[in-house]
Amino acid sequence: MHQVLNKNISPLKNFDIKKIREDFPILSRMVNGKPLVYLDNAATSQKPQVVIDVLQNYYQNENSNVHRGVHFLSDRATNLYEEAREKIQKFLNAKSTKEIIYVRGTTEGINLVANSFVKPRLNEGDNIIVSLMEHHANVVPWQLVCDEKKAKIKIIPINKKGELLVDSLHGLIDEKTKFISVVHISNSLGTINPINEAIEIAHKNNIPILIDGAQSVCHGSVDVQKLDCDFFVFSGHKICGPTGIGALYGKEKWLEEMPPYQGGGDMILQVTFEKTIYNDLPYKFEAGTPNISGAIGLGTALDYVQSIGYENLHTQENLLLKYATEKLSKIDKVQIIGTADNKASIVSFVMADIHAHDVGTILDQEGVAVRAGHHCTQPVMDYFGVPGTARASFSFYNTLEEVDILEDAVKKGIKIFLG
C-alpha cells in the first residue's frame, strides 16, 4: 500500500493547475448545485478555449470546402486542413502525411482496416487475433468480416489483475492467422499493454498488427515508426479535440495496396462510366466533404496538449491515479477492477452489490461525473463476473481535491444504499 500523498506538495514545477483549469471553461460550471467534478475523460475529454476559439473562428471567418475551389476561402480552408494533417503526422511521428487518413474516430478507422485491408486477405478457416480486453469497436468489425469470410476470432487472455498475457500470442498464432488487433490502453481497466512485445511477436510471424490508441494518445507520446505497428488509430475527442474526427495511421506500403473504403467525391482522379482512377494517398480513403473544422480543431488540440508537456501530464495523472487508488481501496465495500502494475489514470470500481448505474447517479448528485456500465467492453465485465463498474478516469486538469470529493461521494452512496 502506498503512503497517502501530501496534496500540498506538487512535484511539478512548471505546471500551474489553476491556470490550466482556466483554459477549460466547462470546468468552472455547476452541476446539480455543486461544482462539476469531471471524471469521465476516458469517454471524452473537455475542450480548452483555444480549440473552441479555432472552431468558432473557422465558421465565422474561414468556412469553405477543401480541395475543390480556386477562390481565397477554399484555398485557406485547404491549407488549414492540410496543416492539421501535418501536425498529426508529426504527433505520431509517421514518415509522411500520406500515411495519415482522416476518419470519424477510432471506430471508423478500425472498420476501414477490417474492410479494405483484412477482408480481401481473409479466406475460409483463417483467423484474426484480438485480446479479451478490447472495446467493442475492436471486436465487432472483426466479427463482421469473419462471419462473411467464414473465418474466426482468437482471444489473447488476461489475468485477474487485468493484465494482457501477451506471451500466449505464441500459442495462438498459426499458419491461418491473418491479422492481430490489440488495444494500447484498456478503457475499462486502465491497463497499459506491452504493445512492443505484441508487435514484435506479430512481425516475427509475418502478421500485420493494428494498435487501438483511443485511450493512449491522451496519456503519452506515441511514435509509430519506433513501434513499427502496421496501423494505429485514435479519436480526436479523447485528446481535447472535437468529436467526429480522428486519424488512422497506416504504413504507406499497405495503404497503397488497399482498395478505397468508400466511393465519392475527392477520392478520385478521374471518373468515366467505364473506369474510375482513384486519387493518391491519403485522399483515396477520404470520400466526400470531410470534417474540416474538426480536423483544424484537432490540430489545435494536439498543439495544446503538447504545450502542457508529456512529462507534466504523466506526473499529474500518475499522482491522481495513485491518490484515487489509495483512497478508494481503503473504503470498505469498494473493489477496484483492474489492478495491473502498469496503469493509466483510469480507476474502475464496484461497490458491493450496488448497480453501477445507481453508483453513477449518486455521484452525479454530488456533481461528480463518472461513467457507469460495461464501457463497451462486455467480455471484460463477464471475465470479472460483474455487470458493470463505475469508472473514474482522470485527465491532467483534474485535482487531488476532486479525488477527495469522489471519495466523499462514494462513502455517501454506501451509506444511502447499505446503511
Q: Which of 66, 169, 214, 405 binds ligand C6P (CB under 6 A)?
A: 214
Burial class (CB in 10 A: 0-12, 13-18, 19+), 385: exposed
Asked if residues 337 and 351 have their Cβ atoms less than 8 Å apart, the reply is no
- Using CB under 6 A, which of the segments 31-39, 91-99, 131-139, 396-404 binds ligand C6P? 131-139
107 lies in the binding site for ligand C6P (CB under 6 A): yes
Closest CB to ligand C6P among residues 215, 339: 215
Q: What is the CA radius of gyration of the chain?
A: 22
Dist. CA 236–CA 298, nearest whole Å: 6
Q: How far is the CB of 409 from ligand C6P (least distance, A)?
A: 20
98 lies in the binding site for ligand C6P (CB under 6 A): no
Backbone angles phi, psi at 137, to 5 degrees: -65, -20
Fill in the per-residue mask, 159 to 188: x = in contact with ligand C6P (CB under 6 A), - = not in contact: ------------------------x---x-
Closest CB to ligand C6P among residues 324, 414: 324
What single-letter DSSP state applies at residue 354? B
What single-letter DSSP state applies at residue 173? -
Q: Is 154 in a helix, a strand, or coil? A: strand
Q: Is the dihedral of CA 294, 299, 300, 304 positive or negative?
A: positive
Which of 146, 218, 229, 376 is catalytic? The answer is 376
Strands 177-183 and 209-212: parallel
Residue 156's DSSP bridge partners are: 131
Quickly list H helices, 286-373. Answer: 292-308, 310-329, 356-365
How many C-alpha atoms does 204 have within 13 Å on its Cβ side?
10
Q: Is 76 in a helix, a strand, or coil? A: helix
135 lies in the binding site for ligand C6P (CB under 6 A): yes
119 lies in the binding site for ligand C6P (CB under 6 A): no
Q: Which of 27, 37, 42, 173 binds ligand C6P (CB under 6 A)?
A: 42
Strands 371-373 and 389-393: antiparallel
Whether 146 is catalytic: no
105 lies in the binding site for ligand C6P (CB under 6 A): yes
376 lies in the binding site for ligand C6P (CB under 6 A): yes
Closest CB to ligand C6P among residues 39, 77: 39
Look at the block and give the residue holding cell 460483474. Answer: 386
Closest CB to ligand C6P among residues 69, 157: 157
Q: How far is the CB of 106 from ligand C6P (least distance, A)?
A: 4
Kindly determine how many residues on this chain lie close enough to bind ligand C6P according to the rule CB under 6 A: 17
Dist. CA 391–CA 386, nearest whole Å: 13
Between CA 103 and CA 364, with CA 26 as vertex, the angle to 5 degrees is 95
Q: How far is the CB of 187 from ligand C6P (least distance, A)?
A: 3
Closest CB to ligand C6P among residues 136, 412: 136
Closest CB to ligand C6P among residues 246, 413: 246
Fill in the per-residue mask, 216 to 255: x = in contact with ligand C6P (CB under 6 A), - = not in contact: -------------------x--------------------
Q: Which of 215, 300, 312, 398 binds ligand C6P (CB under 6 A)?
A: 215
Active site residues: 376
Question: Can you give the binding site for ligand C6P, defined by CB under 6 A?
Answer: 42-43, 105-107, 135, 137-138, 183, 187, 212, 214-215, 235, 371, 375-376
